[in-house]
Amino acid sequence: MENEKRLAFVTGGTTGIGKEIACTLAKEGFNVCVNCRKDPSEFEDLKKEIEENNVKCYFARGDVSNFEDAERMIKEIIEEFGKIDVLVNNAGITKDNLLMRMKKEDFESVINVNLVGTFNITKCAVPYMMKRKYGRIINMASVVRNIRKCRAI
């Protein structure tokens, strides 16, 4: 058990800050599960970059704002790894516009991904963390797309 690698799940982990977090966690020895909305085969370069650190990379495809997708992704991760040690709720979108010009649908999509998505993933992951009496949850919010370096947890 002592040498068993920890598992981190990073939502929105294919670009920007999420990608850097996933890569940094891999460098720190974590197996990394990355959430994506697109076909995981589009992220082969990211998978190679993560796995260069002698860790596993797994993609959980789904929309965090959809509760059924969140539930399915967490179950897949538990089936694959048996645990989630660190959950990084990083998935987020922005639809910047003046309030007068913003469509109601745009506002709702931001709320659904940034807030409801965090709720969905956390609600589904917490029972597994509680059962093991261990887990760390990091909730983030940012609109920064490019980040060069990130410190490990």
Amino acid identity of 69? D
Token pair of 93 as six digits: 């979108």
Which of 6, 5, 7, 14 has its CA nearest to residue 90? Answer: 14
DSSP letter (8 states) at residue 141: -
**Hey, where are the domains in the chain?**
7-139
- Cβ–Cβ under 8 Å, residues 10 and 33: yes
DSSP letter (8 states) at residue 53: T
Which of 119, 88, 109, 103 has its CA nearest to residue 25? Answer: 88
Query: Over the range 59-90, which residues count as b (16 or more CB within 10 Å of their CB) and which as e?
Result: bbebbbbebebbeebbebbbeebebbbbbbbb
Q: Give the C-alpha distances (Å, rounded to integers) separating 112 from 4, 93, 101, 120, 124.
A: 35, 9, 19, 10, 16
pLDDT at 3: 56
Token pair 């940034």 is found at: 114
pLDDT at 1: 42
pLDDT at 106: 92
Q: State pTM to two decimals.
A: 0.88
- CATH second-level architecture of 7-139? 3-Layer(aba) Sandwich (3.40)
* Ordered per-residue pLDDT tens for the chain, 153 residues: 445 899 999 999 999 899 999 999 999 999 999 999 999 889 999 999 999 999 999 999 999 999 999 999 999 999 999 999 999 999 998 887 787 888 999 999 999 999 999 999 999 999 999 999 999 999 997 665 545 554 544
The upper half-sphere exposure of residue 125, i.e. CA atoms within 13 Å in the direction of its Cβ, equals: 28
User: Could you tell me whether strands 7-10 and 86-89 are parallel, antiparallel, or unpaired per DSSP bridges?
Assistant: parallel
